[in-house]
Amino acid sequence: MPSAVLIITADAKMYIPMDELVDFKEEIARLERERAKAQKELDFINSKLNNPGFVSKAPEKVVQGQREAAEKLTDKIAMLDDSIAGLQ
């Protein structure tokens, strides 16, 4: 768990104590809630995309939009996982 952040400028080096500014347990819990929400949305979209009836009957623009949304959610989940791991 990072205890301080180092900021370096041309004129100075500054340490900011993170333990005093961030409640890591609370932040991890918030990120985990956000991840669960994103996973739920991704599961819903994937259930539509795995339904042959939806894919064959929906306009291609709608199907493509769902695929793009799934890709964005997958990326978001990966970023949240990285953030959670960095705080533990």
65 three-state secondary structure: helix
Pairing type for strands 13-17 and 4-8 reads antiparallel
Is residue 35 in some structural domain? yes
pLDDT band at 1 (very low <50, low <70, confident <90, very high): very low
Q: Could you give the number of structural domains in the chain?
A: 1
Residue 7, pLDDT above cutoff 70: yes
Six token digits for residue 7: 């900021």
Other CB atoms closer than 10 Å to residue 64's CB: what's the count? 11
Distance CA 59, CA 77 (A): 27
Is residue 3 in some structural domain? no
pTM of the model: 0.75
Q: Domain containing 40 — which CATH number? A: 1.10.287
